[in-house]
Amino acid sequence: MMSLPLVTVVTPTMNRPAELVRAMHSVAAQRGVRVEHLVIGDNCPALTDALVAELSRRFPHAIVRNVTGAEHAALPQDYLPARLGALRNGAVAVASGEWIAQLDDDNEFEPDHLRSLLDCLAANPGVEVAHSWRRLVAPDGSPYVAAENPWHPDPALRASSYARLVELGVFEPGSPVVRDALRAGGREFNGVDTSEVLVSRRLYRRFPYPTEFSRWWRKLEWTDDYAWCVLLDRAKVPMVCSERATLRYYMGGYSNAAVLR
């Protein structure tokens, strides 16, 4: 076992204990790797001492802590993606793994997610970032087949955006799989979700998640993962894709909740 690579998985969480347990189960089920799971509460009342003790017993590979008080007050408070970026960066600063993955608390890895990304990197020497595709899932666990782009900030443009993404091969009508990419149609796209990515710790420390978002970025509703992908793309950091949907992405998170209302 000690010869297997160690991957640190970072999960920020905020008052979704049932979803968090589901995510933690999926990390514990990873095959072909060793995992260290850093779970970071965002001033999370649900992370009681009793729950932390229970999670630590059920998932001995996990370290669960809640950022509260003065430490939490020092984080960005007026824009959620900025605070998430700071929480992610703080966890990476104490990570032990050579490789870093992110898993939002409402998503799940398939059992071979991390191993397939490591294999993808091994087949591309010198590349330090790999990502998967994702499979959309409704809150009840059934496949979610999109008929519009659920992440477009303007509801009136979601249908036309979806049609364009079908042309670019990101969506396929009738399929719950999103074929995410850093670039689409030869242009900047930056559609890779945080939970799809595996990155070397060395590269992550060169490109931490942004914690400051300009007025323009906020107007465009840039998320932490979109802004991070922009940084990598503009620095021409190579990224490879496994072309496998090994992330189960549950609809209804903060960036797509309006679709399910």
**Rounded to 10 degrees, what is the CA torsion of 234, 239, 243, 246?**
-100
Q: Which two tokens stand for residue 151?
A: 């992440």
At 149 the pLDDT is: 93
Backbone phi, psi, residue 167, to 5°: -60, -35
Residue reference for tokens 């799809």: 196
Residue 72 DSSP symbol: H
At 256 the pLDDT is: 44
At 97 the pLDDT is: 96
At 182 the pLDDT is: 84
Q: Contact, 207 vs 240, CB < 8 A?
A: no
At 254 the pLDDT is: 52
Average pLDDT, the chain: 92
By C-alpha distance, which of 95, 126, 145, 99 is closest to 249? 145
Name residue 89's amino acid: N
At 2 the pLDDT is: 58
Q: Which two tokens stand for residue 107?
A: 């998503």
Q: Contact, 204 vs 237, CB < 8 A?
A: no
Q: Contact, 157 vs 148, CB < 8 A?
A: no
Q: Which two tokens stand for residue 171?
A: 């969506």
User: Which parts of the chain sit beneath pLDDT 50?
Assistant: 255-261
